[in-house]
A and B are shown apart, each in its own frame.
Chain A
Amino acid sequence: MPRHPSLPLTETTYLILLSLIKPAHGYVIMQEVDRLSNNNVKIAPGTMYGALDNLLKQGWIKEVKSEDKRRKVYQITKSGYDVIEAETKRMHKLLNLAEELMRGES
């Protein structure tokens, strides 16, 4: 199976997509990414806005209706979901390979 052309993803992109399986706005995404990464990935507002803008343009996320007039709420799309699925498979293979080789060495 040919690899998805957009892989590998950056850690930031991967975590943002993961946190958008449920609909969320920018601030919630930031908190979610912080939590998912055990406080290792902190996304600043300029970077967050740019990342969401790019993901929208790529069609990996979409805007969803919300009652909040001031904040846009986003959610992952089918193609966005395909991307994280492909990326997760890729990392799985890599992890299995690494574990196998490291076990063999010791």
Chain B
Amino acid sequence: MKQIIKRKVFLFKDLDKQEAWINSFRKEGYRFINKKFPACFVFEKIDDKVPITRIDYREFEKSSEYQNYIQLFSDMGWTVVSSRKNSGVHYFQQNNPNSEDFIYSNKESYAEIYKRYSQQALNWSIIFLFFFTIFSTGDISYSLFNPRTAFLTPGLWEMTGWQFWSSFIFEIPFALMRLLSKVIWLVLAAWMGFEAFVNKRKYNDLIHNSN
């Protein structure tokens, strides 16, 4: 069986675009078989008709609840393709390759996918913001808003000429690392906050257009 790996980054998860992209390879006989981190989609070439893939988003606290969920889909004719209890995103394939069915039978329940994902992204955003605050306060002598303090060479800013430049340039990578280790949390918090916003807007649009 010939396998191929296609890479594509979906910046805001974009579950609907992901689904359409995966299904666009059905014509060429490629069946989606696995999603690997990061941005790595595994397909296999088959001779038969390729079944449709649908994506769900849901978090589970208990394994028994997750098993019940997977079993319900399986009972209703959907095989789980790529999913873990904590993966959030779950990929299912319809057993009947001629069916173009959906895993949601009304727009309201479909829209809830984006609401759930938005809520989860918001939670992550708050966690990252919390990390940022922890690493930005306390006993750390350098500050994000005053990059000079990330240079720890004693007396650096009093040096002149060749001595200054050689010490300064030598320390740049270390100073950047010190600064980035803080900035990264802020970037992640902003990113997740933005994802929460984009997906909430999508939810509102779907609910609004359902009438």
- State the A residues within 8 Å of B (CB): 12, 25-27, 30, 42-51, 70-72
B56 at interface, CB cutoff 8 A: yes
Q: How far is the CB of A36 from chain B (nearest CB, A)?
A: 15
Check B71 against A45 for contact (C-beta < 8 Å).
no
Q: Interface size class for chain B?
A: 20 to 34
B209 at interface, CB cutoff 8 A: no
| Residues 35-69 of chain B, each 1 if its beta carbon lies under 8 Å from chain A, else 0 | 00000000000000000001010100000110111
Check A27 against B76 for contact (C-beta < 8 Å).
yes
B68 nearest CB neighbor, chain A only: A72
Check B72 against A26 for contact (C-beta < 8 Å).
yes
A46 with B109, Cβ < 8 A, contacts A26-B75, A27-B75, A30-B76 known:
yes
Task: Tally the A-B contacts, defined by beta carbons under 8 Å.
Answer: 60
Check A46 against B75 for contact (C-beta < 8 Å).
no
| Residues 102-130 of chain B, each 1 if its beta carbon lies under 8 Å from chain A, else 0 | 11111001101100000000000000000
Having A46-B103, A70-B71, one finds 18 other A-B pairs with CB under 8 Å, namely A12-B105, A12-B106, A25-B72, A26-B68, A26-B75, A26-B76, A27-B76, A44-B102, A44-B104, A46-B54, A46-B102, A46-B104, A47-B110, A49-B72, A49-B73, A71-B75, A72-B65, A72-B68
Q: Which residues of A contact B69 (CB under 8 A)?
A: 49
Most chain B CB inside 10 Å of its own CB: which residue of A44, A46, A47, A50: A46
Q: How far is the CB of B78 from chain A (nearest CB, A)?
A: 6
Distance, CA A45 to CA B54, complexed state (A)? 11
User: Contacting A71 at CB < 8 Å: which of B56, B58, B71, B101?
Assistant: B71
User: Contacting B109 at CB < 8 Å: which of A26, A27, A50?
Assistant: A50
Q: Which residues of A contact B68 (CB under 8 A)?
A: 26, 70-72
Check B56 against A46 for contact (C-beta < 8 Å).
yes
Q: Which residues of B contact A70 (CB under 8 A)?
A: 67-68, 71
Check B67 against A44 for contact (C-beta < 8 Å).
no
